A and B are shown apart, each in its own frame.
Chain A
Amino acid sequence: MISFILNKKTINTPEHSGMTLLDFVRYDQRLTGTKIGCREGDCGACTVLVGSLKNGTIEYQSITSCISPLGNAHGKHIVTVEGTNLKNTLTIAQEAMKDNYATQCGFCTPGFVVALTGFALSNSEKNYNTALNAISGNICRCTGYKAIEKAAYQVVEKLEHKTIENSMNWLIENNVVPDYFASIPQRLKDIEAKDLNQPKGKYIAGGTDLYVQQADDLVGDSVHLIAEKDYLKGIKIENDVCTVGTNSTVSDLWNHTQINNYFPNLKKHLKLVSSEQIRNMASFGGNLANASPIGDMTIFFLALNSDIIITNEREEERVVSLKNFYQGYKTYDLKDGELLKQISFKLPTNQSFFNFEKVCKRTHLDIASVNSAISITIKNGTIEDAHVSIGGVAAIPKYLHDTSNFLTGKSLTSETILEAGEILQSEISPISDVRGTSSYKRLLGRQLFFAHFTELFPKQFTLHDFIQHA
């Protein structure tokens, strides 16, 4: 039995945990405000909020319900647009959309309203940028983005006086959410959702990839959800080593204060990784296990020279270097019954630098044509250590062994970089596909490699140092 609160209503359903939350909400519960646009998490029309109790307080995040298994709602508060409606008036998010002419055909509108409501409920900093991030996974084809921008800004202004203490009361008094929200934390505690009794089956964490690829195969009673497994969660820092549970989401990393201190550009980099809705669901383990040659976080962790800790049903553990994990297209060193448990990497020192680059047709919420990351340690102008990774140019997410080796011990000059760039070219073998021709990917690979250095050492290098006619 899956138990959760849907808007005001307590749900106890015997439905299969692999059914999508969207289908349950729309067709089982007849809440038709949640729309179907793409069923691949790419349009946001099906956005709902998930409220989870954490240390007694409730935290809301937006997700795309089309690629979320129903079982992941267990013990949570799920909010659809109907659940935000007030009796005779509009919420501030709804009012802002209406006032600013931010609805045209209206089909994407509930998704925007829910995402903006999630933004209002969250503890994140409230400014224009964070407001736009909150709706980064919502597509409006009509396309009223300039009006929607204004609406989002209006929400920010309305939230200016939001209190941190008793914030739920403030939100209720100020027409952000209806008053039943106040009783949700207690009601969730009362549900005492026991662990789901799950069959053996395909492991699913966030579901953001599997539900895009094979949703029809998962709706039966054959999935094993792992998103709530505590031993796969958490981000720990000990002795300059960071250990990330594979069930952590991209948002967990995004929100981690210490990690942000170690990686000052982290948010900028992670913003290139999908949308807020997807970042709230997508797990690192899923990204690694998907083994896409273009997986953003895989490329990210490869350049950090990460290890992965693998566990099995007997709770035995083994450690594999991520760069040795992949064996061929979508094949890797993982046996039946094994799970990726943790990713660990050494944190950067004040002499090491990290950069992530990604280019695709659309800058945000798109799959890269080529992505690349680098971590590099410089002492007195000499490269003490370098790890470079690149995606989209080989059958596997590629750790550039030769390029990285070549850089190590060299002085940081444009000659070194140009020569390393040549080696990079010999290590990659891109193919032509819908993300670009092979010659484009080669050129882009070169350019992104240069970009690492112009980004990290802007005083030392400009594009001019690498390109003749620039």
Chain B
Amino acid sequence: MHKNNSNNTLKSKLDAVSISLKQSIKNLDSYTHVRGESLYVDDVNIRQGTFHAVVFDSPKAHGKIKHIDYSKAEALEGVERIFTHKDVPGKNQIGGIIPDEPLFAEDEVHFWGMPIALIVAESEFIARKARSLIEIDIEELPVITTAKQAKAKGSFINAPRSFSLGNTEKGFAACEYVFEGETFSNGQEHLYIEAQGAYAEPLENGNIKITSSTQGPTAVQKTTAQVLGVAMHKIEVDVTRLGGGFGGKEDQATPWAVMAALATYHLNQSVKLILNRHDDLRMTGKRHPYESTYKIGLSKDLKILAYEAEFLQNSGAAADLSPAIAERTLFHATNSYFVPNVETTVISCKTHLPPNTAFRGFGGPQGMFVIESAIAKAAHEIGVTPRQIQEANLLDESDSFSYGQIAKQVEAKNTWESAKSTYNIKALEQEVEDFNKKNTNFKKGLALMPITFGISFTNTPMNHARALVHIYLDGSVGISTAAVEMGQGVNTKMMQIAAQVFSIPIEHIKIESTNTTRVANTSPSAASSTADLNGKATLKACNALLGRLKTVASEDLKVSEENIELKNEFVFVNGKKSELSWTELISKTMLKRVALTENAHYATPEIHFDKTKEKGHPFAYHVYGTAIITTTVDCTRGTYEFDSVKIVHDYGKSMSEGIDLGQVEGALAQGIGWMTMEEIAYNDDGKLLSNALSTYKIPDIFSVPKEVEVIPLETSGHDLAILKSKAVGEPPLMYGIGAYFAIQNAIKAFNPNYNLKFHAPMTPEKVLMSLYEK
């Protein structure tokens, strides 16, 4: 009876989801996407005489450059010129947070794949051929590839950071159970299918226009100006769209754009630099590997009273965004749980890997994996299920996070309870148990994964955006913002906002490319905040224009402004349609010499953070959710499949259900990939072994869960979210962490001798070795 009821609720909820999907707005870019007409950097028509560039990079991870012989390469027919650090007119420096990263290596190399020179030639093929003719002599120095090695040698990026709440010493003293352990989570290659690239063209007066596949046009502009030693206004950066970014093009799209611009600066000719896949894999950083230790203490009734963790972040050879990523690890170290006594420290360790960088989740997933590991370990030792511990510690309204923010509008328990009841967790658990009793060749495992993720750049000053909205004479609208479209559907959301405010069809609205001359000094499209920040600015601009239009209409129709409303391309007075259409109103506004352009600025209110105290209110709000993941492990072969992932997700009030579902499913698949098959491998010399798509595997259509159900949690949304529709880009990635524990539970069901290990990813190799360990 209970089961039937629950099934009925589930069915009606799933039906509601499918109805909302039918009605929801389609991604406005999909028309050109499906026809192959969308333009990415490498698709842009290039000027006659354009040169093509290839990067010459270090063939060793650490050493002194003794000698480089470019003569053979330079002599190759079709090679125009080879640029090195000596050709940099400004600063040979691209570090964003800390100036510790040269554009081109000078006397030393610090990672395998570090750019040393740029070969510019008539074709990419010639440039690549020239590269193979360069001879380099490097005196090798010791190589550090892991964070632990770096720590032992005292090799760090910056000073460690620590967050603390309560007093862990007292907390542990009061505990019935205390467990310690260590974990490892590997890096993750972004593998945006569109590799890094840029196209630079000379304009008059030494000005340069760069078309870049970047999430951060301003970073490209600023860094190019710095390297060329020119003012920022001389550099224009334009972005139409990205063929995937995932954080990999937040900071690391910059060097390639700068190099192309440098060559353009010297040659006064257009230069295109598109990395081929192997170069991209070898030269760019990835998600940070973390080696961590934890100590967790619980009371008899399974309350986590104290938690300590030390996170060793493998930052790579330069800071890049590592300090900010490290910080977010601390922000999410306790995931969805309230822990009264917390002491967490993160250490950014300098190694000889390519500088690791932003990747969807930005350090958060690495932090969450550790506490979920600690809970799994504690549950195993105590003899309860991890679910019992998770459930006993979920955040409540007004609980404090370790960084001092008081949790408000908390949905942790709501999503958890809703997932449990809607999907009937007891029945699911029973199914797994029954299956495991009956089957020897296969075992099932189930895990729950709650998530809590803070929305905002944790660096408060970055939380701003601007929108420039033009209404043209004929009533059509053009919108420029700082938002970069990279598949997250932000263009569609911006268009929805304008269409809603003006009440005109979306066909009348165009979202312009992201361009530094139209919207300047921007923050990158990152931190899941792009739609919120740029959407709020767009909303503000549209509302200002709407106000002016209403004034004109009220004068024209001689009624007071309060009684006027714009609806379906007409002016309505007291709810009644007037003769005055949208286009006529625009003409009249123009004749009255009222501005039809608005530039609005938005800065997130309420947020602040004091780094000297490590306390504050850094997030506009949090996103919550709970996933139930079920897997089947093939105990003969060590392979696995995911039967289902059942999620209750806190979208707030989703403004674009189809797009948002795509974000949840996509992030989930990436999270599962990180936890399962995606295995970055470097050898001890610092050479990337997983250096091609044949050796680095990402999920294909057969490896995603057979069934993915995502039900929205019913809430009233959050005021700081755009149209109450919460940010959705990163949080669902962390549902994927549950995949690790689901597999682990299946292994436990097969092999009673299995010793719990927290060493992600859980590759088929690790599964098989675990199934048969003695």
Contact = CB atoms under 8 A, between A and B. Distances in A.
25 contacts: A32-B39, A35-B193, A36-B195, A90-B31, A90-B34, A95-B34, A98-B34, A101-B27, A104-B488, A107-B192, A142-B666, A144-B662, A145-B704, A146-B665, A146-B708, A359-B639, A360-B764, A364-B700, A367-B695, A369-B765, A434-B681, A443-B769, A447-B636, A448-B637, A470-B635
Given A105-B243, A141-B244, 16 more contacts: A37-B193, A40-B693, A42-B692, A80-B36, A81-B36, A90-B31, A106-B30, A107-B40, A140-B701, A142-B487, A145-B699, A362-B698, A434-B690, A434-B695, A440-B765, A447-B637
B36 A147 contact: no
A145 B635 contact: no
B43 A43 contact: no
A138 interface: yes
B193 A43 contact: yes
Interface in A77-93: 80-82, 85, 90, 93
Interface of A: 31-40, 42-43, 45, 80-82, 85, 90, 93-95, 97-99, 101, 103-110, 113, 132, 135-136, 138-149, 212, 216, 219, 357, 359-367, 369, 433-437, 439-440, 443-444, 447-448, 450-451, 454, 462-464, 467, 469-470
B661 interface: yes
Which 5 A-B pairs rank lowest in CB-CB distance, beginning with the nearest? A33-B36, A105-B487, A107-B243, A106-B33, A81-B36
A216 B194 contact: no
A113 B36 contact: yes
Interface string B22-53: 00001101111111111110110000000000
Contacts of A447: 636-638, 768
Given A98-B31, A105-B243, A451-B637, A366 B697 contact: yes
A101 B661 contact: yes
A107 B765 CA distance: 32
A352 B592 CA distance: 91
Given A94-B34, A216-B128, A463 B700 contact: no
Given A107-B243, A141-B698, A361-B679, A101 B662 contact: yes
Interface stretch (B112-120, B530-538, B746-754): B746-754
A435 B763 CA distance: 11
A34 B764 contact: no
A113 B241 CA distance: 20
A232 to B, nearest CB: 26
B440 A40 contact: no
A141 B191 contact: yes
B662 A147 contact: yes
A436 B666 CA distance: 28
B35 A148 contact: no
B693 A463 contact: no
A463 B665 contact: no
B21 interface: yes
B191 A97 contact: no
B700 to A, nearest CB: 6
Given A106-B30, A107-B193, A463-B441, A143 B695 contact: no
Contacts of A43: 193, 693
Contact of A463 (B21, B440, B677, B768): B440
A39 B665 CA distance: 27
B694 interface: yes
A158 to B, nearest CB: 15
B276 interface: yes
| Highest count of chain B CB atoms <10 Å: which of A35, A42, A103, A138 | A103
A142 B488 CA distance: 9
A452 B128 CA distance: 47
Contact of B29 (A37, A103, A369, A469): A103
A146 B681 CA distance: 29
A104 B27 contact: yes
A74 to B, nearest CB: 22
Contacts of B125: 216, 219
B212 interface: no
A436 B765 contact: yes
A462 B195 CA distance: 47
Which among B33, B38, B243, B769 has the highest number of chain A CB atoms within 10 Å?
B33
A404 to B, nearest CB: 21
B489 interface: yes
B26 A362 contact: no
B739 to A, nearest CB: 14
A454 B666 contact: no
A144 B35 contact: no
Contacts of A146: 665, 704, 708
B665 A144 contact: yes
Contacts of A469: 751-753
Contacts of B681: 434
B129 A141 contact: no
Nearest to A448: B637
B246 interface: yes
B237 interface: no
B214 to A, nearest CB: 14
A357 B670 CA distance: 27
B242 interface: yes
Interface in B547-593: none
A241 B83 CA distance: 63
A142 B191 CA distance: 10
A106 B192 CA distance: 11
A39 B276 contact: yes
Contacts of A33: 35-37
Contacts of A31: 36
Nearest to B704: A145
A283 to B, nearest CB: 18
Contacts of A101: 21, 26-27, 30, 658-659, 661-662
Contacts of A433: 689
B36 A110 contact: yes
A103 to B, nearest CB: 4
Given A362-B699, A364-B702, A469-B752, A107 B244 contact: yes
Nearest to B705: A146
Interface in B464-520: 486-489
Interface in B731-774: 750-753, 763-765, 768-769, 772
B486 A105 contact: yes
A142 B128 CA distance: 30
Contacts of B489: 104
